[in-house]
Structure 1
Amino acid sequence: MIKLGESVDGFAQGIREHVKLGPKLSETVKGKLRLGARILQVGGVEKVFRQKFNIRDDEKLLKASQCYLWTTAGPIAGLLFVSNKRVAFCSERSIKLSSPTGKPLKAHYKVMIPLRKIKRATESENAKKPTQKYVQIVTDDNFEFWFMGFINHQRTLKYLQQAIHQAR
């Protein structure tokens, strides 16, 4: 019973942290509903992954998680995909960019890291808020990616570390 209570508390804490990272609760909920509708329209997260990242037939999706990618501009909500070949992130909504011609463009924020280029993936926590957990990915060239706001960061980290280990 105690273990079940801890699991429920951890899950509730994950949802709280996930929602708190968004600009407003109502905006976060709307974004999650839009994302869910888009996933259903396309036919599931695996099809979203294949569509967004032009995946080959020999690549298998292992785990998909809603989370935030920390950038210098702040957190960006999206989906983190872990496959047997790579880690990929795609934002839920498109972001505004400026083109060389000065015209504004809209595009999804994407990150794609081949597993063979990842040095390590570790768990970290906010020193001021220990309940706020991060998954840090460090590449061979010492570039760092910080993902946060997972409903269950430990499960995603487990899949990520297994995929990195098997790719070596």
Structure 2
Amino acid sequence: MTTKKRSLKLNMSDYAGKSVISKMNKLGERMDCLAQGIREHVSLSPKLTETVKGKLSLGAKILQVGGLEKIFNQKFSVKYDEKLLNVCQCYLSTTAGPIAGLLFISTDKIAFCSERSIKFLSPTGKLLRIYYKVSIPISKTMKAKESENREKPSQKYIQVITEDDFEFWFMGFLNHQKTLRYLHHAISSS
């Protein structure tokens, strides 16, 4: 009897050891993915100090306004039954270079708003400051797909394509796969 009990304990401890190792490996993979996302997010900005200042400023704005959902409601026209599904920090690729901001995914739209205001001259010569905003109705979105930089394959993009073949490129996600899942869910539910 004692031999059977010992072998049973040994087998269970082997299983527990394998389970712990498996979980540690999965955690390590997630941490590697997060670290890669952070590296990519930070590398898109011109200076690390500017990135840190921007993130602290954004965090203060979020707290001051009362949360991400309130920022979404303030920046974009929101329908009564519209629900915010996900918000993430990323960059929007523009001809002038990447712009840091927040990507909002709701049941009705994909929306982007820059973290900082952008300066430009009005036709009258007055200096204006506005936030760079994009709003894409989910009903007009054909697909969202993952893409990568050919020169830097570790740098991932999410390409959103509308019915009229207009493309929006988002990059610098902390977790682009999670964001892509939310985009696919929102598009397929419309």
Partner residue, 2:112: 89
CA positional deviation for 1:36: 0.4
Considering only CA atoms, is the larger Rg found in Structure 1 or Structure 2? 2
Q: Which runs of 5+ in 2 are unaligned?
A: 1-23
Kindly report the root-mean-square deviation, in angstroms, between the aligned alpha carbons of the 2 structures.
Answer: 0.7
Partner residue, 1:143: 166
Paired amino acid for 1:81: F
CA positional deviation for 1:76: 0.1
Paired amino acid for 2:94: T
Q: TM-score, normalised by structure 1?
A: 0.97
What is the alpha-carbon distance in structure 2 between the residues aligned to residue 54 and residue 145 of structure 1?
20
Count residues with an aligned counterpart: 167
CA positional deviation for 1:59: 0.9
CA positional deviation for 1:96: 1.1
Structure 1 residue matching 2:151: 3-state secondary structure: coil
What is the alpha-carbon distance in structure 1 between the residues aligned to residue 131 and residue 39 of structure 2?
25
CA positional deviation for 1:100: 2.0
Q: Residues 48-88 of structure 1: CA distance to partner in whole angstroms, max 9, x if unpaired?
A: 00011131221110000000000000000000000000000
Partner residue, 1:30: 53
Partner residue, 2:155: 132
CA positional deviation for 1:146: 0.2
Q: State which of 43, 46, 65 in structure 1 corresponds to 2:66.
A: 43
Alignment of 1:101-140 (within 5 A): 101-140=124-163
What is the alpha-carbon distance in structure 2 between the residues aligned to residue 142 and residue 98 of structure 1?
30
Higher helix share: 2
What is the alpha-carbon distance in structure 1 between the residues aligned to residue 175 and residue 28 of structure 2?
15
Q: Point out 4+ residue stretches in structure 1 off by more than 6 angstroms.
A: none
Structure 2 residue matching 1:100: 3-state secondary structure: coil
What is the alpha-carbon distance in structure 2 between the residues aligned to residue 160 and residue 19 of structure 1?
23
Q: State which of 79, 100, 121 in structure 2 corresponds to 1:98.
A: 121
* Same amino acid, percent of matched pairs: 67
Structure 2 residue matching 1:33: 3-state secondary structure: helix
Partner residue, 1:158: 181
CA positional deviation for 1:104: 1.5
Structure 2 residue matching 1:124: 3-state secondary structure: strand
Q: Identify the structure with bigger relative contact order (alpha carbons < 8 Å, sequence gap 6+).
A: 1
Q: Quick check: 1:5 aligned with 2:42?
A: no
Structure 2 residue matching 1:69: 3-state secondary structure: strand
